[in-house]
A and B are shown apart, each in its own frame.
Chain A
Amino acid sequence: MTDHELADLRERIVDALITLSEVGFGDYSVELKMDFRSRHPLNAVLASLNELVAAFGAEQEQSRAFRRELEDKLIIVEKQRTAIHELSTPIIELWEGVLCLPVVGIMDTVRSSEMTNALLQAIVEKKTRYAIIDVTGIEVMDTRTVDHFMRMAKSIKLLGAECALTGLSPNIAQTVVHMGLTLDDVVTQRSLRDALTYYVNRRALHA
């Protein structure tokens, strides 16, 4: 190889590496320039590199698309989680001074705690005298959750309100008995309708 050929080869490689340095910074749109007029052996290498860069760029684009899709899904999941969270503690004002907390789904410590906070907050804000916790939607309750409801009832009583537990299933009733809990702080009623009738009658009595 003559000095001139060597210098030419070096320059071509430098050109290629300058372009590839853009690839190194993440730009896959670049293309290595080839001299099609000549049959320089480097052309084959450059052509292969162009194919590699294009393939890698396509992979990167696909990966970016997947990441965007995943991020969008995560946003949706987060929104749904917030919506479910809000729906999980629906506190309804049934009557003036009467609040109802219908409980459905699975109970755990975090949800029980959030429910208690929300109900106690609502009792104070709405100056509630009667709070009904309706557990018709829960078939089975573990001992910790039953204990949590009992503590909730005690807290309600401390705020000067009265607590009624309605819709207890036979399974839950047995758990309460097995735990040896006394229901001094809670009025139990068979259904939400019974509890409401009870409070309406009591209001009429005290009026």
Chain B
Amino acid sequence: MSEPMIRGQVIAHTASFLRSQLDSSTARRLEDELSAELRITLGEIVPALWYPRRYQVELLDALVTVKGKGEPAYADLVRCGAGFATVENDFTKLLMKILTTELFFKKLSRFWLRDHQNSGNFEVQALENIERGVQLRLGDVAGYNHSAVLWLGWMQHVLQRLSGPASHIEQTGWSWSNPGPNHVVYQVEWS
């Protein structure tokens, strides 16, 4: 089986977020947690290239190690994920102008595949009894620690831009004791 890969831009954004958003002492401790291999890679990362997903996992695990398992680390993961939606180029800006909530969910797999190789897939199912709601199942992500929270932050941010602040997402599957489950389920509702 091929190694799960991830776009350099995802790793670069995560590293940049951690370096800029954490206070200097926490950021320093986080740097100490990283392997020499990853530190070298971060220095020469190319946004468009593919890198082993374990680099991203190492970054997220390091964040949880230095912040501890709790609300502050969770909030950082969500904010980091939300930041992916703000990493823009001219095309993503145009995309946001014509994207609708329905199309966003329809194209979720394509968004995922833009940044991931050899792991993960989204299944979207309409929620019964709720007109503006879907259930998303992100499967085949075992070992992708804390990504469930990261991508929740991303979806939440995009959804708020598309549908307003009343949108709401809840995830099941991820927990501090099970940070890299094989699948995660998101229940999404928007106004």
Chain A residues near B (Cβ < 8 Å):
10-11, 13-15, 17-18, 20-28
Contacts and interface: CB of A to CB of B under 8 A. Distances in A.
Interface range for B = 20 to 34
Contacts of B48: 22, 25-28
Contact of B114 (A10, A13, A22, A28): A22
Contacts, number: 46
B9 to A, nearest CB: 5
B98 A21 contact: no
Given A14-B99, A24-B90, A24-B92, 15 more contacts: A10-B100, A11-B103, A11-B106, A14-B95, A14-B107, A15-B107, A17-B91, A18-B114, A21-B114, A22-B48, A22-B114, A23-B91, A24-B91, A25-B89, A26-B48
B94 A17 contact: yes
B110 interface: yes
A18 B9 contact: no
B151 to A, nearest CB: 16
A23 B95 CA distance: 13
B111 interface: yes
A10 B110 contact: no
Interface in B39-84: 46-48
A17 B95 contact: yes
Contact of A21 (B46, B92, B100, B106): B92
Contacts of A22: 48, 114
A5 B145 CA distance: 42
A28 B91 CA distance: 14
B95 A18 contact: yes
Given A21-B89, A24-B90, A14 B98 contact: yes
Contacts of B146: none
Nearest to B99: A14
B7 interface: yes
A10 B107 CA distance: 12
B106 A15 contact: no
Most buried by B among A13, A15, A27: A27
A14 B34 CA distance: 38
A64 B50 CA distance: 18
12 contacts: A11-B103, A14-B99, A14-B107, A15-B107, A17-B95, A18-B107, A20-B91, A21-B91, A21-B92, A23-B91, A24-B90, A24-B92
Most buried by A among B46, B89, B91: B91
A13 B98 contact: yes
A136 to B, nearest CB: 50
A60 B91 CA distance: 19
B98 A18 contact: no
Which 6 pairs of residues, A with B, have the shortest CB-CB distance?
A: A24-B89, A26-B48, A27-B48, A20-B91, A17-B95, A21-B91
B158 to A, nearest CB: 13
Given A25-B7, A26-B47, A17 B98 contact: yes
Interface in B9-59: 9, 46-48
A13 B97 CA distance: 11
Contacts of A15: 107, 110
A21 B7 contact: no
Contacts of B98: 10, 13-14, 17
